[in-house]
Amino acid sequence: MIATKFLIAGPLSRAQLGIQIRAHLDASLARLGTVHVELYYQHRVPDSIPVEDVAAVMGELIAEGRILGWGQSQATEEQIRRAHAIAPLTAIQSEYSMMERMFEKDVIPACEELGIGFVPFSPLASGFLSGKVTANDTYTGDDVRRVITRFRKDNIRANQPLLDLLAAFAKEKSATPAQISLAWMLHKKNFIVPIPGSRRIERIEENLGAADVGLTHEEFARIEAELAKIEMHGNRTDEDIARLRHMD
């Protein structure tokens, strides 16, 4: 499946919006060497552009066969419902992991109700849930972890109970902490499809192995019960990225 994304800032008229989205799509199709993409994401959903206008353009592109489906990234429940009423959404892509569960309150239930896939990015919390992070690690240059607050030394120490939980289940299931994290997510809902990082082949192989780590309902319930007791320290990645832009 080919999926790509576009980023549009407003305010724009409906006509201007259509022109810009089509220009972005033309460029993507040329780079990809294809005549259509299966999934076209709106990368972030700004308040400055009505979601209904974007959805209308997406509906046109679907009718023309240039895209087969469309999605939103980091949308609210309200934005999802408004957009879906104009042109049915295929998927919602947002940050989601054991450390960031805010979308369980409204977005994931809305996706389940409306038949929309939910695609978590950063399902391993930028590698934090791999269990390999230590308070002595440092991050420089363009490594985004230098600004993500969960990687501060004090927060790493404060979040140790979560890492201990993952380590315990990893030992019990002969798996890695990362695989337990992904197995937990895969067990939750069948329409949740995480997209962990894929820069290194060994990480890809490890992440794929999570599909073979079957959690029983009792094991899943135990993890959920323990997670409910753990306070997470550090901001959402998006909040920290926004701070980074201001810093740079």
- Predicted confidence at residue 158, as pLDDT, reads 94
Q: Is the pLDDT of residue 18 over 50?
A: yes
Q: Which amino acid is at 232?
A: M
How far apart are alpha carbons 118 and 77 in whole angstroms?
A: 12
Q: Is the pLDDT of residue 240 over 80?
A: no
- Predicted confidence at residue 248, as pLDDT, reads 47
How far apart are alpha carbons 49 and 37 in whole angstroms?
A: 23
pLDDT band at 245; cut points 50, 70, 90: very low
Q: Is the pLDDT of residue 101 over 50?
A: yes
Q: Is the pLDDT of residue 148 over 90?
A: no
Which of residues 167 and 239 earns the better pLDDT score? 167
Nearest to 182 by CA among 132, 112, 124: 124
Q: Which amino acid is at 113?
A: E
What pLDDT, in 10s, does the model give residues 150-173? 888 999 999 999 999 999 999 999
Burial of 108 (0-12, 13-18, 19+ CB in 10 A): buried
105: how many CB neighbours lie within 10 A of its CB? Answer: 9
Q: Is the pLDDT of residue 238 over 70?
A: no
Task: Write down the mean pLDDT value for the chain.
Answer: 91
Sign of the C-alpha dihedral computed for residues 11, 144, 200 and 214 taken in this order:
negative
Q: Is the pLDDT of residue 65 over 90?
A: yes
- Predicted confidence at residue 57, as pLDDT, reads 97
Can you spell out the DSSP letters for 167-191? HHHHHHHTS-HHHHHHHHHHHH-TT
Quick one: average pLDDT of 7-34? Answer: 94
- Predicted confidence at residue 139, as pLDDT, reads 84
Output the pTM of the full model: 0.90
- Predicted confidence at residue 133, as pLDDT, reads 86
- Predicted confidence at residue 236, as pLDDT, reads 66
Pair type for strands 39-42 and 117-121: unpaired
Quick one: average pLDDT of 114-132? Answer: 94
Which of residues 149 and 115 earns the better pLDDT score? 115
Quick one: average pLDDT of 183-189? Answer: 96
Burial of 173 (0-12, 13-18, 19+ CB in 10 A): middle
Quick one: average pLDDT of 7-32? Answer: 93
Q: Is the pLDDT of residue 242 over 80?
A: no
What pLDDT, in 10s, does the model give residues 214-231? 899 999 999 999 999 999
